[in-house]
Amino acid sequence: MIALFFGAVVPVAQARVPNDPLYTKQWYLRQIGAEAAWEKTTGSDQVVVAVIDTGVAIDHEDLRENIWTNTREIPGNSVDDDRNGFADDVHGWNFLTKTGDVRPKEDGSTEAGYVHGTLVASLIGARGNNGIGVTGVNWRVKIMPVVALDETGGGSSSDVAEGIRYAVENGAHIINLSLEGYTDSADLSDALAFARSKGVLTVAATGNAPEDPLGIDLDVLRVYPACLSRDPSYGVIAVGGTDTLDQKALYSNYGSCVNVLAPSYDLFGARPVSLTSTSSAARIGYEGDFSGTSLAAPLVAGTAALLKSVHPLWRADELKARIMSTAIPIEGMQLAAYQGKLGQGRIDAALALADVSTSTVATYAVGATVPGRPTRVRISSGTSVLELQPYGATDRRGARAVFSDTDADGSPEIVVVPASGRELTYVVYTLDGRERRRSTIVRDLVNGALITAVTGGVVIADQSGGRAWGVLHDGTATLFRPYGNAYRTGLDLLSVSGAAAFAPRGGGGHLMVTDVKGRRLVSAFPFGTSARGRWSLARLPASPSRPASLVVSGPLGSRVLDVARLGATGWSAITFKDLEAAKPVTSSGRSSGDANLRIYDEWPR
């Protein structure tokens, strides 16, 4: 049996500050250094935090802008549009009703069960600085509601385990589990190990012991999933609770399972609006006087989300290590019984983000190894590097990769194709290295593929066979031949202004530009219709003295044209020296400083 835990208590008598009118009641955010942290980041819409709990009021005025939306699902048609096994999971999934309705139900609920999921979600990510209500640790984030506990707060470990798998497979970066059980369930353990293998951090509350004035020693009586924090293979950070004075909250459990502490006493946040309560707070959708380690966990999950917004390549281990290493030790203020059993101390979001420069915009580069070497794809951002093996540890075909927003959510994914060989299998990864899609198009390439990102998806070319495929955001692939069915020789391929530019590797110097479905946009002959030879493409990035330009090169030299004028007259000669100085982009990437690795794309462009 799994249960949530929190309760109501009798009320107790250079930073960035949001304009939310009830922020003054959120003492706990100042306690964890949130105002200083917000000078570095207020969060990101690209970070997804799953709240596996009771229902969440997704239409609450202070939550709705930060609720995750499955953009691949069409609402209300009872069809599993994205083929993930869940029909109409537009804003998450309810594992109790087996529907996409994740809202709390007041009928038959306890007050705790009705409020809990929404309150937890608001602590992580109530919309900040919007002049309404409260703020979460993150002003901007995406909350993925996953209902695994009923309206009384009870549930099964199997539903929680299924919820974890759903969250991971649908893009969550962090999972909040404000729940406890006393049995080490194999289903739950396996699901948590799966989450960690995908880089997902799980934040778990250590539980309350209201009947014991000192709390429970978790070295005597284990609580799960929090006590899986002792094994790094599960990716769990276990959170105990403190009060307003940085003392361990009396009800908070302790022991070697605890990693960190966070405020958990007299917290104020958003709650579902009640239609039956006589309480004015319940009727306006905001309330305080809530306590419990259930509420400490989302403050840690929120801090992890802030970190993820500035370190997108960090996975569970890095996030956990940073939060623990920057916590404030408070053991000297505690009873002797707690010494060595309160983890690293109370979290400090400002210290966790202290090394982040406010002037730095996160940029990414993706590179891949050349044929003949073990096939690896590397995503880098600043000092962080993530290495992927798209075709297994022993593959030596090499790869090419580009950034593309394959799910149209505003955040790029990485699309990989083999640089040599016969089989064309493309693989889509998220920025933090989780595989999103894998699909084989053909097994009869002449020798490897080229790829470029365009509006609506990507275009992949059989670099030695004359074919191309436009792959849409939903994975639909369309075959086309830019130079007609008779042309079976090589192609060069490059993106230009959101379209695909082709040049023939043999024959006439015919520039062709198409959209993602192969529809012709431009047909031009920079060297005239009689020119013959081997041709290639390059793109010159815009500079203060020159607009972005396309270069076609061949046996007659190189010609350049402003990309905004493609198809028009005005092609002019450009020398190799000019090209070298302009650092052109080509289909073969650019040097990484390692002869075995080429850089193929950067984001933002």
Catalytic residue positions, numbered: 53, 116, 294
Angle at 8 between CA 60 and CA 347, to 5 degrees: 80
- What is the b/e burial string over 302-316, where b = at least 16 CB atoms within 10 angstroms of the residue's CB? bbbbbbbbbbbbbbb
Residue 255 DSSP symbol: S
Contact of 371 with 448, CB cutoff 8 Å: yes
Q: How far apart are CA 349 and CA 37, in angstroms?
A: 6
What φ, ψ does residue 365 adopt, rounded to 5°? -130, 145
Q: How far apart are CA 517 and CA 457, in angstroms?
A: 10
Contact of 266 with 329, CB cutoff 8 Å: no
For the packed helices 186-197 and 157-169, what is the interaxial angle rounded to 10 degrees? 10
* Cβ neighbour number for residue 443 with a 10 Å cutoff: 10
Phi-psi label, residue 533: left if phi above 0, alpha if psi -120 to 50, beta otherwise: left
Contacts of 201 (CB under 8 A, 6+ apart): 173, 174, 175, 235, 237, 304, 315, 316, 319, 320
Contacts of 13 (CB under 8 A, 6+ apart): none
Q: Which of 306, 270, 268 is nearest to 286 (CA)?
A: 270
48: which strand partners? 142
Token reading at 573: 């000669």
Q: Which of 453, 446, 348, 369 is nearest to 406 (CA)?
A: 453
Q: CA distances (Å), 491 to each of 180, 513, 527, in order?
A: 59, 12, 18
Token reading at 488: 């079976």
Collapsed DSSP state (helix, strand, coil) of residue 147: strand
Q: How far apart are CA 289 and CA 307, in angstroms?
A: 28
Q: E strands along 396-488, which residues?
A: 399-404, 413-418, 424-429, 435-442, 449-454, 457-462, 468-472, 477-480
Token reading at 326: 């920057």
Contacts of 239 (CB under 8 A, 6+ apart): 203, 204, 205, 206, 226, 258, 259, 260, 261, 262, 293, 296, 297, 299, 300
Residue 10 DSSP symbol: P
